């Protein structure tokens, strides 16, 4: 029997049909006997065989037509129950019609209380047909769940319809190896109730459930993971060593069924995400719709997301500018597939090449510019300051100056929290770019009838989750290799937000800016990188220090323990969006800033890194090098003669 109930064998349809017919025939006969009070002599004289045979034929035709024998019994559901009731009812109605039209008048058979027989038969027949399916289904799941194969014991988060669908999908899959032992929820109305023979537990019982059932995993829908109750449950799972798996909402299941490939490990990005940001889509649409939009650094993490979100607002054209050929080609194919109705132009160029960028502005005359092109890796820029200056300062200057020259309406620059009290070359170059962008507000070049032609806006935020070269992909790769995970310092912290979240705020801030503002984003609480590593190890179902070790390598060149969003002396002003504030920063005259940058670029051409960095410290006095071979410049106070002597 067991081999017929397990996944490897399916009972033939004709056999199910025969069993159903046997049940129907036996049920009708028994009902007939009950109504006739088991008086067999009168039963046989009353044409019992004619009545029973006719009912059997009619029932067979109805059941075959309604195909109640075609479904797999082990997966029977309420729809199958309704089909059984419908088939028995229709069989009774057709049978009653035939008896009154043909049996009684043609064969001159005396009628018995056939109505009462049909009523009793309806109850007995439908009950037995349903009982057959329920018994087989229960036996199947009992044998399957108690087979010798090792099962993965799981809990399902939630007790709503989606959670029930997940349970049904797991139990119905021929390849799954999960045994669902319960649901966990925080809805007090459902606690200790049973759903499909499985109990609903409060999330506070996770530790007890782990001990009782040796729970291996918790399965959770991967939407709305920002809810506080879910986050508490996930934190408890990590502490207890319960691995968390996610499944997409049921409307995203392939062909309406949960594919095992859709069951994935919870990612740290899911655990860190916050409530979805609400933005003013109307204002953004008015800012972008029907306009020509340029995105520099379009193939990068932030730039590519800007492209995707901008395209959804139906601009007249989007120009994708980057120097990375292959990623830009991939972007081209992707946007053409997703947004076939919006014209896009691919423009391979380096923002440091003024002539090439002039060609871009001359040909397409962008009305809105999102400037995301930049070098961002701190240690690499510490070793190559001249390249950081060329891209982050000169490149920004080129795009900004051309925006003014060609009458671009708005210029939005993507900056970083590393520009605040910078401790490295990269952050300082971004701060210099910020200063130049702000100075353009009152520049004579950017005036028409006393008003700015181009509105310059700067947005400043921290690390984004999953961006190219960021810590999370690096940790994930180290875990996959078996460790160790390398962290620079036990106490180092960073701010994080998701890429879509950051870009949403960039677009929103762009609509607010009147020119010269630096918008800073609410990044939430800073995250301790060691805690991040520990959570990622636990999310992978491993144990820190036992399976994966964490080693500390020391702060890298230019790196500091804590990032900041405001310089000393800077304050903020609130905006209509709770997650966006305006930094009240010191602004500098355009002529002074332009002259300083010209001097910086002259030094850059001399390939003297020490003199170059020293000039950067002069432009940005709060720039104090940390863990860098340029620290000696701070010790000598930036005296040019002493620097020259030290170099010589």
The β-bridge relationship of strands 368-371 and 292-296 is parallel
In 3D space, the residue among 203, 279, 199, 212 whose CA is nearest the CA of residue 236 turns out to be 203
In 3D space, the residue among 412, 437, 428, 325 whose CA is nearest the CA of residue 375 turns out to be 428
Enzyme catalytic residues: 418
Query: Distance between CA atoms of 492 and 526, rounded to whole angstroms?
Result: 10
Contact 483, 554 (CB under 8 A): no
Distance from the Cα of residue 395 to its chain's centroid? 34
Q: What is the pLDDT of residue 616?
A: 93
Q: Which residues on neighbouring strands pair with residue 180, listed in sequence order? A: 154
Cα separations in angstroms, 152 against 157, 179, 449, 629: 16, 6, 73, 54
Q: What is the pLDDT of residue 643?
A: 39
Over the stretch 527-585, which tens digit does the pLDDT of each residue have?
888 888 888 888 787 888 888 899 998 888 877 777 765 555 556 677 777 778 777 77
Q: What is the pLDDT of residue 5?
A: 44
Q: Where are the domains of the chain?
A: 2-145, 152-266, 289-463+503-524+565-605, 609-647
Contact 218, 184 (CB under 8 A): yes
Q: What is the pLDDT of residue 426?
A: 94
In 3D space, the residue among 119, 66, 69 whose CA is nearest the CA of residue 95 turns out to be 119
Contact 317, 262 (CB under 8 A): no
Contact 206, 178 (CB under 8 A): no
The 3 state secondary structure assigned to 67-101 is: CCCCCCHHHCCHHHHHHHHHHHHHHHHHHHHHHHH
Over the stretch 92-112, which tens digit does the pLDDT of each residue have?
787 777 777 766 666 555 555
Q: Tokens standing for 505?
A: 């705020």
Beta strands in 282-355 (DSSP E): 292-296, 317-322, 344-348
Q: What is the pLDDT of residue 69?
A: 59
What does pTM read for this prediction? 0.69
Q: What is the pLDDT of residue 251?
A: 60
**Homologous superfamily of 289-463+503-524+565-605 in CATH?**
NAD(P)-binding Rossmann-like Domain (3.40.50.720)
Q: What is the pLDDT of residue 647?
A: 37
Q: What is the pLDDT of residue 6?
A: 45
The phi, psi pair for 69, rounded to 5°, reads -95, -5
Beta strands in 109-257 (DSSP E): 152-157, 178-185, 194-195, 198-202, 217-221, 243-247
Domains 152-266 and 289-463+503-524+565-605 share a fold: yes
The β-bridge relationship of strands 451-452 and 447-448 is antiparallel
In 3D space, the residue among 444, 433, 363 whose CA is nearest the CA of residue 399 turns out to be 433
- Map tokens 């002493």 to a residue: 642
Own/partner contacts of 6-12, CB < 8 Å, gap of 24 or more, are 6/140, 6/143, 6/144, 6/147, 7/144, 7/174, 10/72, 11/73
Q: How many CB atoms lie within 10 A of CB 363?
A: 11
Q: Which helix (H) or strand (E) holds 458?
A: strand 455-461
Query: Which residues does 184 contact at the CB level (< 8 Å), separation at least 6?
Result: 155, 156, 157, 158, 200, 201, 202, 203, 205, 206, 209, 218, 233
Q: Select the CATH number that applies to the domain covering 152-266 from these four: 3.40.50.720, 3.90.550.10, 3.90.800.10, 1.20.210.10.
A: 3.40.50.720
Residues of the chain below pLDDT 70:
1-14, 38-47, 68-79, 102-113, 137-150, 171-176, 222-230, 249-262, 264, 269-280, 447-452, 466-469, 564-572, 636-648
Q: 3-state DSSP helix/strand/coil percent for the chain, to nearest 5?
A: 50, 15, 30
Contact 354, 398 (CB under 8 A): yes
Contact 24, 57 (CB under 8 A): no
For the chain, give the number of residues.
648
The phi, psi pair for 192, rounded to 5°, reads 70, 5
Q: Which residues on neighbouring strands pair with residue 202, listed in sequence order? A: 185
């Amino acid at each position: 029997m067991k081999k017929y109930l397990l996944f490897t064998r399916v009972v033939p349809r004709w056999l199910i049909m025969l069993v159903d017919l046997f049940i129907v025939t036996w049920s009708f006969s028994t009902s007939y006997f009950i109504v006739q009070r088991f008086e067999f002599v009168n039963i046989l004289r009353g044409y019992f065989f004619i009545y029973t045979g006719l009912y059997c034929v009619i029932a067979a035709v109805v059941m075959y037509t309604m195909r109640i024998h075609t479904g797999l019994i082990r997966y029977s559901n309420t729809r199958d129950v309704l089909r059984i009731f419908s088939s028995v009812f229709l069989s009774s109605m057709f049978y009653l019609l035939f008896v009154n039209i043909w049996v009684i008048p043609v064969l001159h058979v005396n009628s018995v209380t056939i109505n009462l027989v049909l009523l009793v038969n309806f109850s007995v027949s439908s009950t037995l047909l349903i009982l057959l399916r329920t018994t087989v289904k229960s036996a199947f799941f009992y044998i399957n769940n108690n087979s010798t194969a090792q099962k993965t014991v799981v809990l399902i988060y939630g007790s709503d319809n989606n959670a029930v669908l997940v349970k049904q999908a797991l139990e119905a899959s021929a390849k799954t190896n999960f045994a669902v032992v319960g649901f966990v929820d925080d809805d007090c109305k459902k606690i200790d109730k049973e759903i499909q023979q499985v109990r609903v537990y409060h999330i506070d019982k996770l530790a007890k459930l782990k001990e009782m059932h040796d729970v291996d995993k918790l399965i959770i829908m991967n939407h709305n993971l920002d809810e506080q109750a879910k986050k508490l449950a996930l934190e408890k799972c990590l502490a207890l060593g319960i691995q968390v798996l996610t499944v997409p909402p049921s409307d995203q299941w392939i062909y309406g069924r949960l594919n095992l490939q859709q069951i994935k490990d919870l990612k740290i990005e899911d655990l860190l995400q916050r409530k979805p940001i609400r933005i003013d889509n109307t204002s953004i649409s008015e800012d972008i719709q029907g306009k020509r939009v340029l995105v520099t650094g379009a193939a990068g993490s932030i730039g590519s997301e800007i492209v995707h979100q901008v395209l959804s607002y139906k601009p007249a054209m989007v120009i994708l500018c980057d120097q990375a050929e292959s990623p830009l080609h991939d972007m081209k194919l992707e946007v053409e597939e997703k947004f076939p109705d919006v014209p896009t132009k691919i423009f391979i160029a380096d923002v440091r090449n003024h002539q090439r960028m002039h060609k871009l502005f001359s040909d397409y005359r962008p009305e809105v510019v999102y400037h995301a092109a930049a070098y961002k890796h701190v240690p690499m820029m510490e070793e190559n300051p001249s390249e950081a200056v060329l891209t982050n300062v000169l490149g920004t200057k080129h795009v900004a100056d051309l925006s003014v020259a060609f009458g671009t309406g708005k210029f939005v620059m993507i900056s970083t929290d590393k520009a605040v009290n910078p401790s490295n070359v990269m952050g300082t170059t971004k701060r210099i770019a910020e200063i130049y962008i702000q100075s353009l507000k009152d520049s004579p070049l950017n005036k028409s009838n006393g008003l700015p032609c181009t509105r310059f806006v700067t947005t400043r935020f921290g690390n984004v989750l999953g961006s190219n070269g960021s810590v999370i992909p690096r940790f994930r790769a180290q875990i996959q290799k078996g460790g160790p995970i390398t962290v620079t310092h036990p106490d180092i912290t960073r701010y994080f937000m998701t890429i879509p979240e950051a870009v949403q705020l960039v677009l929103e801030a762009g609509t607010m800016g009147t020119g010269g503002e630096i918008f800073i984003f609410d990044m939430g609480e800073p995250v301790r990188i060691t805690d991040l590593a520990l959570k990622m190890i636990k999310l992978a179902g491993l144990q820190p220090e036992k399976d994966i070790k964490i080693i500390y390598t020391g702060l890298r060149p230019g790196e500091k323990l804590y990032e900041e969003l405001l310089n000393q002396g800077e304050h903020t002003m609130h905006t209509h969006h709770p997650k966006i504030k305006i930094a009240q920063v010191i602004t500098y005259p355009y002529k002074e800033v332009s002259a300083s940058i010209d001097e910086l670029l002259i030094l850059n051409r001399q390939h003297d890194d020490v003199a170059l960095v020293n000039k950067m410290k002069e432009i940005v006095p709060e720039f104090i090098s940390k863990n860098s071979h340029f620290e000696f410049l701070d010790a000598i106070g930036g005296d040019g003669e002493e620097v020259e002597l030290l170099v010589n």
